[in-house]
Amino acid sequence: MAVNVETLEKLERKMTLTLPVDTIRGEVDARLKKLARTVKMDGFRPGKVPMSVVAQRYGYSVQYEVMNDKVGEAFFNAANEANLRVAGQPTITEKEGAPEGEMAFDAVFEVFPEVKLGDLSTAEVERVSADVGEEAIDRTIDILRKQRRTFAQRAKDAAAEEGDRVTVDFAGKIDGEPFDGGKAEGFSFMIGEGQMLPEFENAVRGMKVGESKTFPLAFPEDYQGKEVAGKTADFMVTVHKIEAGNLPEVNEALAKTLGVKEGTVEALRADIRKNLEREVKFRVAGRNKQAVMDALVAKAELDLPKASVQSELGRLAESARADLKARGLKDVEKMPLPDDIFLPQAERRVRLGLVVAELVKAANLQATPEQIKAHIEEMAASYEKPEEVVRYYYADNRRLADVEAVVIENNVTEHVLAQAKVSDKKLNFDELMGGQQG
């Protein structure tokens, strides 16, 4: 077999392969003979079908199969011989003008790029940190209390106020016409917790059971319902029930309800601190890892294999369809999802994957068994039965591979932070958590 490799552009290559016709013909004959021993046809006993009949019925498909196998094998061997790192699948076409007794093929494909990592000592990375203060613990306890509050119906002449749960009917119109989502009956919400737009809450605040009121409500320009965003509706609301919320006291009973074995407030606060610190550690690591990856990508120079980007586009589209299907949308398989939607994300993922792989190889940052074990044990520590979680991960190679990938990313993060120009920034708890508490 003669091999010729030429560069077309950047990462694209073309390889010419030649195969003896006798090799193809011999393999086709061998497979047809094997097939003849088991094939069933009307009028013939099994294994007694004439070769001419088998060849007539199955010859084309067997030859196509052999061609694919032999050319693919030839391509694989030639690529290894030429030390080529092939990205994606080659496009193979038969070539005319081959020498007598041979078949020639052109294989067009891409190779993985040379990755220039750049000087990491000049990379600038902002490293964040955060602490868990008493205020964060207090707010967490408040959230836990709200989740366990009870409600008692107010007196009929009592006015709705902050913290009450009200049950109402409402109907809204825009320019005198009803709109989707603008009407409900027996709808309950908490006053003062942002479940409704401020103008709606303000209208209900101070109303009594049995009262009705009309009021205008201006939807914000960025309102999630695009058909009403920026428009003003006229609402009519009627109050049917007002209930006062009663929060449980912060005492031993609450601690026991929350599963704290010691059953003391001090133990409850310690348990909350431990959980919050675990979450803070996770979020800080995520923020710092993202900053490191951004710096790596900014410093690196490489061309992107189109085949790898296309493959990533397919994965992203498949994931998006699965998400839409899980949300209850129908016929998502038929829904058009243009590549442009995912292209920036796909290119970034491919670029980052190649850069990280190059750095891991260059700096020997592979995950060790000890690191993987330690990471699994750390994750398992937050569960009631850590040993079961450890067994869960070690029972599946795919789960272990996921952990290994995380450990490698952690190694990369530590390596870059040790070399880059690092500026430290202290975040308060709310900044880190993105306002999730409150």
pLDDT tens series, the chain, 438 aa: 456 788 998 899 998 888 888 888 888 888 888 888 888 887 777 777 788 887 888 888 888 888 888 888 889 999 988 889 999 889 988 888 888 888 888 899 999 999 999 899 999 999 999 999 999 999 999 999 999 999 999 998 999 999 999 999 999 999 999 999 899 999 999 999 999 999 999 999 999 999 999 999 999 999 988 889 999 999 999 999 999 999 999 999 999 999 888 889 999 999 999 999 989 998 999 999 999 999 999 999 999 999 999 999 999 999 988 888 888 888 878 788 888 899 999 999 999 999 999 999 999 999 999 999 999 998 898 888 999 999 999 999 999 999 999 999 999 999 999 999 999 999 999 889 874 443
Rounded distance between C-alpha atoms, residue 406 and residue 413, angstroms:
11
DSSP string, 166-187: EEEEEEEEETTEEEEEEEEEEE
Topology adopted by domain 276-433: Trigger factor, domain 2 (1.10.3120)
Contacts of 125 (CB under 8 A, 6+ apart): 288, 291, 292, 295, 416, 417, 420, 421, 422, 423
Tokens of 223: 């309102």
Total count of residues recorded for the chain: 438
Give just the sign of the alpha carbon dihedral 77, 82, 85, 88.
negative
Rounded distance between C-alpha atoms, residue 165 and residue 146, angstroms:
12
Contacts of 9 (CB under 8 A, 6+ apart): none
Rounded distance between C-alpha atoms, residue 267 and residue 261, angstroms:
8
Helix (H) or strand (E) holding 128: strand 124-130
Q: Minimal CA–CA distance to 159: which of 235, 211, 106, 222? A: 211
Q: Tell me the pairing of strands 421-427 and 232-246.
A: unpaired
What is the residue type of 134?
A: E
C-alpha distances out from residue 190 to 207, 237, 368, Å: 14, 15, 52
Helix (H) or strand (E) holding 7: strand 3-9
Domain 150-246 indexed as CATH 3.10.50.40:
yes
Rounded distance between C-alpha atoms, residue 432 and residue 130, angstroms:
7
Instruction: Give the architecture (CATH level 2) of 3-111.
Output: 2-Layer Sandwich (3.30)
The b/e string for 206-243 (b: 16+ C-beta within 10 A; e otherwise) is: ebebeeeeeeebebeeeeeeeebeeeebebebbbebbb
Tokens of 180: 């989707």
Rounded distance between C-alpha atoms, residue 182 and residue 175, angstroms:
13
pLDDT for the residue numbered 352 = 94
Q: Minimal CA–CA distance to 238: which of 290, 329, 172? A: 172
Burial classification of residue 290, based on how many CB atoms lie within 10 Å of its CB (0-12 exposed, 13-18 middle, 19 or more buried): exposed
pLDDT for the residue numbered 437 = 45
The structural domains of the chain, with segments of one domain joined by +, span 3-111, 150-246, 276-433
Contact 150, 228 (CB under 8 A): no
pLDDT for the residue numbered 419 = 94
3-state secondary structure of 90: strand
Tokens of 295: 């710096």
